[in-house]
Amino acid sequence: MSIATKSMDADDMRDADWAILNVLREGRANAPLIAEEAGYSSQYVRERLGRLKQDDIVKPLGHGIYEINEDEVPESDHDE
């Protein structure tokens, strides 16, 4: 039995999520690089990447590298 979870929308996104996406818009990256560029701990970035991955907002490419899936990013006027 699986439990359905609601997909993230713009209201569910945290500031860290937007910062992660902004880094990934510059190109593929791993959690330590994203953490350094976004100003968050690697552990927290990994946690948020896991949540973003659940909703297909980011895609793991292997070896800890992620890329953004622009088609799944919630629409928002959030500018950072």
pLDDT of residue 10: 83
Q: What average pLDDT does the segment 6-22 reach?
A: 89
Q: How does residue 5 score in pLDDT terms, banded at 50, 70 and 90? A: low
Q: Is residue 8 part of a domain?
A: no
Question: What is the CATH number for 27?
Answer: 1.10.10.10
Q: Is residue 23 part of a domain?
A: yes
Cβ atoms within 10 Å, residue 28: 12
User: DSSP letters of 46-72?
Assistant: HHHHHHHHHTTSEEEEETTEEEE-GGG
Residue 4: helix, strand or coil by DSSP? coil
Q: How does residue 52 score in pLDDT terms, banded at 50, 70 and 90? A: very high
Q: Is residue 80 part of a domain?
A: no
pLDDT at 9 over 90: no
Q: Does 79 or 54 have the greater pLDDT score?
A: 54
Predicted TM-score (pTM) of this structure: 0.85
Q: How far apart are CA 38 and CA 55, in angstroms?
A: 21
How many distinct structural domains can be found in the chain? 1
Q: Is residue 1 part of a domain?
A: no
Q: How far apart are CA 38 and CA 70, in angstroms?
A: 18
Q: Phi, psi (5° rounding) for residue 31? A: -60, -45
Tokens coding 72: 């799944």
Q: Is residue 36 part of a domain?
A: yes
